[in-house]
Amino acid sequence: MKLHKFITVFLFILSLSNAVAQSNFIEGYYIDSNEDTITGLINYQNWDKNPEEINFKANVESHQIALKPNEIKGFNINNLIYKAATIEIERSPIKLEALNKNPEFDIIERTVFLQILFEGENNLYRYKDEFHKLNLYIGDISNPSLLLYKKYIKFFDKTSPYFKSDQYTHGDLVLEEKTYIGQLLNIFNQDQGYITKIQKTEYSEREILHLFIDFQKEKKIIPNYIIPKSKNRVNFSVISAVVLTDIHFNSSLTGLYYYEDVNFKTESSYVPGIALDIQLSKNRKNWIFRNELLYASYNLSGSFSNFANHTNLKTFNATFNYSYLKYNLLLKRNFIFDNHMLFMNVGLNVSFMMSGENSYSMEYTYGLTNTGELFKESYYNKSEREFIAGIGYSFKHIGIETRISRSTGFSNDLSMGFYTNRSYFLFTYTF
């Protein structure tokens, strides 16, 4: 498959990724309307936005059912706690280009799964809606209070107290309504050491959560629950690959035209390696940075006979023998279906030459043979660069994958028009 066609397919599949119903049922439980705990499997998607419903199965063979916040009291999965609650939601836009000039809060009421961030003497909850708007809450879960915050635009001119520049005579200024500062001061009883700290606290999950944690530590009160920190996960793999290599010339020099006509055989080589996957936090393995280190040795040869413009020349033979230490940096997109996973990746390779040699021989019809180097060591490409794209499948620890690539080739002499195409067939085992 041509590289550009492969990339087109890659981008098309990626564009459909949000429509793919990926499943990841892991152990969890929910609390029903009678306060009974029902254990089983919940389809965990490491939600950024709070889920509108969850899918639950009693066991692997069972049919899944959808549960909404008006049907259950809450659920627990992967040490994350969600509780059903009827809350107020502030809906003002958050993107700069969408801000309006109304300082009033835009509030509606909705029954949702509210996520617990902190539970103790004071409680903190979060809700992120379908537009990725974050709202934070305090108080008891039976009646959570919205921490009020919004941004809006105000027109100003030189008579405005907000105007602080001599460069402009008028314009729009982004202002913030920080009612939440007073609410936080109230629940912490305006503790003198916290007044300044609270006043500087931004409306973010991280900053307000740290405020709650620090306050409890200072008071030496042990909280009932703190949401666990998201961590980057690292996985180690071994790689065993077969690589098919084709080399090509597209020389602009008439003296080298016969290079283009050499029929180089597709070379098959075994390439071992190791890989380190770094899963970005809050990604549920969907996006991975993959680092690979491989050792590759290439031995290619080809020949051409019966040159039309050289009646005395019978055959031209050429050989390439090179070894490289190859480093791949890939961005990997996973599509997870329980223990099965389809994936795609795209990235770059830098190959550092460990050893290299090339040679040619010209056999003439009258019996004379000339030998030499196709190009000198000064023209060796000591750091070959390669664009890579691939697709694959894995089940538990075992994976198979196919990739294609195009590289800058063994020589850095641009006049030779040298480039290399490779096809990879990989087998991986992840620990």
Checking if the pLDDT of 167 tops 50, the result is no
How many whole angstroms separate alpha carbon 226 and alpha carbon 181?
Answer: 22
What is the crossing angle of helices 192-199 and 179-187, to 10°?
A: 160
Pick the range with the lowest mean pLDDT from 115-124, 207-216, 309-318: 309-318
| Range picked from 6-20, 366-380, 400-414 for highest mean pLDDT | 400-414
The residue-averaged pLDDT of 116-127 equals: 95
How many whole angstroms separate alpha carbon 262 and alpha carbon 279?
Answer: 45
In the structure, what pLDDT confidence band is assigned to residue 312 with cuts at 50, 70 and 90? low
Q: According to the model, what pLDDT value does residue 340 have?
A: 84
Of the candidates 92, 75, 93, the residue with the CA atom closest to the CA atom of residue 84: 75
Checking if the pLDDT of 12 tops 80, the result is no
For 320-351, the pLDDT digits (tens) are 888 999 999 999 988 877 678 899 999 999 99
Do the Cβ atoms of 393 and 425 come closer than 8 Å? no
Helix (H, G, I), strand (E, B) or coil at 13: helix
Checking if the pLDDT of 232 tops 90, the result is no
* E strand spans, 120-192: 124-128, 134-138, 145-147, 150-157, 170-177
- β-pairing verdict for 398-407 and 383-395: antiparallel
Do the Cβ atoms of 347 and 330 come closer than 8 Å? yes
Checking if the pLDDT of 256 tops 60, the result is no
How many whole angstroms separate alpha carbon 377 and alpha carbon 355?
Answer: 10
For 383-419, the pLDDT digits (tens) are 888 999 999 999 989 999 999 998 887 777 666 667 7
Q: According to the model, what pLDDT value does residue 33 have?
A: 92
Percent of the chain with pLDDT over 70: 81
Q: According to the model, what pLDDT value does residue 160 have?
A: 60
Checking if the pLDDT of 134 tops 70, the result is yes
DSSP 89-104: EE----SGGG--S--S
In the structure, what pLDDT confidence band is assigned to residue 314 with cuts at 50, 70 and 90? confident
Q: What is the mean pLDDT of the chain?
A: 84
In the structure, what pLDDT confidence band is assigned to residue 254 with cuts at 50, 70 and 90? very low
Residue 85 forms beta bridges with which residues?
112
CATH of domain 233-430: 2.40.160.20
Checking if the pLDDT of 29 tops 80, the result is yes
The residue-averaged pLDDT of 132-152 equals: 95
Q: Give residues with Cβ within 8 angstroms of 300, minimum separation 6.
A: 245, 247, 264, 265, 267, 319, 320, 321
In the structure, what pLDDT confidence band is assigned to residue 182 with cuts at 50, 70 and 90? very high
Q: According to the model, what pLDDT value does residue 377 have?
A: 74
Length of the chain: 431
Q: According to the model, what pLDDT value does residue 190 have?
A: 59
How many whole angstroms separate alpha carbon 201 and alpha carbon 196?
Answer: 9
Checking if the pLDDT of 74 tops 90, the result is yes
The residue-averaged pLDDT of 347-364 equals: 86
Domain boundaries, the chain: 79-226, 233-430
Q: According to the model, what pLDDT value does residue 168 have?
A: 47
Do the Cβ atoms of 420 and 246 come closer than 8 Å? yes
Residue 52 forms beta bridges with which residues?
none
Do the Cβ atoms of 425 and 242 come closer than 8 Å? yes
The pair of three-digit structure tokens given for residue 111, joined into one six-digit string: 């029954």
- β-pairing verdict for 419-430 and 72-77: unpaired
Q: According to the model, what pLDDT value does residue 248 have?
A: 76
